[in-house]
Amino acid sequence: MKHLLSSLALLSLVPLSVSAQVTFGTPFTVIQNPPGAGVTAPTLRDDELELFFESSGDIWRATRTSSDIPFLNATRVEELSTANSVEENPFLSTDSLRIYFTRRNSVTRVREIFRAARASTTSPFGAAVSQGPTGGPPFVGTLGSVIGDEKKVYLEIIRPVPPGSGTPLTEQSDIACATRSDVSQKFGPWKLLEGMNTLDVERSPFVSRDDRALIYSRVGPLSGLPGILFFSFRADPSEPFPNGDPALGVNAPNTSNDDPFWIFPGARLYFRRGTTLWAANRTIDAAYHLAAVQGIRGRTVSFPVMATTDEEDVIRFDFRLFFDSRFLTWSDLALAPALGGQVLDAILEGPGRLAVSILGERPLEPGPTPRDVIHIRFKALSNAPVGGQATFRFSNDPRINLLNVPRPADGSIQFLASPRPATSMLRLR
């Protein structure tokens, strides 16, 4: 586990769990010429070229041509923003063709979730349709995020402080969720999230599309935290989230962070300080490992690509593998059973150069022991020198979770001779 930076001494008030702490580089602002009321509740496409946010009770949109430059010239989304209601907390679906947000009138705190759809990312949204929640206490709070299948929504719920709690507040915010069995239905009643809520204020929940990572902001009064971003991970979405750990690199004394939005699969974090939108690039602790194997000439040999990590959400792998095409031909791929998932791309870009992209179904198991990511199968040609070796080598730009990682040491294959066929034993009479 990474250790908490000494400069964040205020976080010593918070007990740390066994979850790995997520580290980021120096934050930077990412939008020019925002509306006068600033930016709240950012949500972005996966390519980070389109941004939606709330400003003064309306939904706004901004675009850019590269994720390396700021967003420019934000405009109000007319088809979603109404004169008689307050629209807040937008959240895009994974394909960016649906947007969720809340709507209320100006004299009530009770909100309703709405959803609108569009034909493409350049098309306007159609009419918004109510999504609940229904069948339970009124929804007083804010929309956090919707998971990938759009059957669960995470919410911030504002509710009275229980008597005798020892906090000076009369109200507090806690994290809740609501579910539905089909996207054609409305969300059912909200329920508080088990094990995550304290007598502090937990707010602005963001949950990853696979429902395994939770990010939220925690504010005192009991802990004295000003608005610290916490991360919590779970391997199984059916299990409760454990207590979270503060993020490293983005939290600071006397600084309040809110409204986190984590770009899938976790390379960059967007968040709000005051009314300003910030972002920070992640620093990942992960590495590839290439094996040394043996293979018999004329037969198929399986070459494992492995990885290690201290992180709990490593799920995406991209690399180019160079091999000796004089003695090897590529056959196929087999994902490690513990990882599962899908091969997004496997392209033979030229002789002896294979480009591979993988999205796991489950995160790689953390720890110092290299874990299999994928087995790449080759045929060892009959002209391979017996006892000789060929090298497997990565290019200089391998990535894990879309973040650059060091090129590993080369792997190898040693060629063995084919075993002699069994000799028939004949008895002569």
Domain presence at residue 205: yes
Region 249-268 average pLDDT:
96
pLDDT digits (tens, 9 = 90+) for 156-167: 999 988 787 777
In a domain, 426, yes or no: no
133 preceded by cis ω (within 30°)?
Answer: yes
| Number of separate domains in the chain | 2
Residues 234 and 336 grouped into a single domain: no
Q: Give the three-state DSSP class for 23.
A: strand
10: in domain: no
Strand segments, DSSP code E, in 77-183 are 86-92, 98-104, 112-117, 129-132, 141-146, 152-160, 171-179
pLDDT bucket at 421, cuts 50 / 70 / 90:
low
Residue 1 above 70 pLDDT?
A: no
Could you read off the pLDDT of 3-52 as tens digits, one per residue?
333 334 444 434 444 456 899 999 999 999 999 999 999 999 999 999 99
Identity (one letter) of the amino acid at 347?
A: I
Q: How confident is the model at residue 61 (pLDDT cuts 50, 70, 90)?
A: very high
Question: CB–CB of 72/62 below 8 Å?
Answer: yes
Domain boundary pick from 283, 312, 330? 283
pLDDT score at 73: 85
Question: In this structure, is residue 328 part of a structural domain?
Answer: yes
Whether residue 209 sits in one domain with residue 272: yes
273 and 310 housed in the same domain: no
Mean pLDDT of all residues in the chain?
92
- The tokens of 216 are what? 């939220």
Query: Per the structure block, which two tokens stand in for 334?
Result: 């087999």
Considering the domain boundaries, does residue 197 fall inside one? yes
**pLDDT surpassing 70 at residue 192:** yes
160 falls within a domain: yes
Overall average pLDDT of the 353-378 stretch:
98
The stretch 245-258 carries a mean pLDDT of: 95
Measured CA to CA, the distance from residue 305 to residue 296 in angstroms comes to 19
Tell me: do 227 and 305 sit in the same domain: no
Q: What is the CATH number of the domain that holds 337?
A: 2.60.40.680
Q: Looking at the structure, do residues 99 and 150 belong to the same domain, yes or no?
A: yes
Question: Is the full-model pTM beyond 0.85?
Answer: yes
Q: Are residues 110 and 137 in the same domain?
A: yes
Residues 99-128, mean pLDDT to the nearest whole number: 97
Determine the structural domain holding residue 373 and report its residue range. 287-416
My answer on whether 211 and 300 are in the same domain is: no
Of 3-17, 168-182, 189-203, the least confident = 3-17
What is the percent of the chain where pLDDT is above 90? 84
Asked if residue 189 and residue 103 are part of one domain, the reply reads: yes
Domain membership of residue 5 (yes or no) is: no
> Which residue type sits at 348?
L
Q: What whole-number distance in Å separates Cα of residue 2 and Cα of residue 424?
A: 63
The enclosing domain of 40 has a CATH number of 2.115.10.20
* End residue of a domain, out of 283, 307, 328: 283
The pLDDT of residue 420: 67
For residue 11, the SS3 value is: helix
Is the pLDDT at 426 greater than 80? The verdict is no
Question: Does any domain span residue 6?
Answer: no
Residue 380 has pLDDT above 90, yes or no: yes
pLDDT at 422 over 60: no
Task: Select from 255, 283, 311 the last residue of a domain.
Answer: 283
Same domain, yes or no, for 139 and 249? yes
Mean pLDDT of 119-124: 98
pLDDT bucket at 243, cuts 50 / 70 / 90: confident
Residues 334 and 362 occupy one common structural domain: yes
Tokens for 8?
Answer: 């964040």
C-beta neighbour count of 105 within 10 angstroms? 11
Do 358 and 314 share a domain, yes or no? Answer: yes
Provide the pLDDT for residue 366.
Answer: 96
Give 13's DSSP letter.
Answer: G
Per-residue pLDDT, 166: 75
Tell me, yes or no, whether 143 and 205 share the same domain.
yes
34 forms beta bridges with: none
Average pLDDT over residues 245-266: 96
Residue 299 has pLDDT above 60, yes or no: yes
Task: Report the b/e string of 386-404 with b at 16+ CB within 10 A.
Answer: eeeebebbbeeebbbbbbe
pLDDT tens, residue by residue, 302-355: 999 999 999 999 999 999 999 999 999 999 999 999 999 999 999 999 999 999
* C-alpha–C-alpha distance, residues 25 and 27, integer Å: 6
Tokens read off for 156: 């911030």
Provide long-range contacts, Cβ within 8 A and 24+ apart, for 4-10.
4/246, 4/248, 5/248, 5/249, 7/252, 8/246, 8/248, 8/251, 8/252, 8/253, 9/253, 10/224, 10/225, 10/226, 10/253
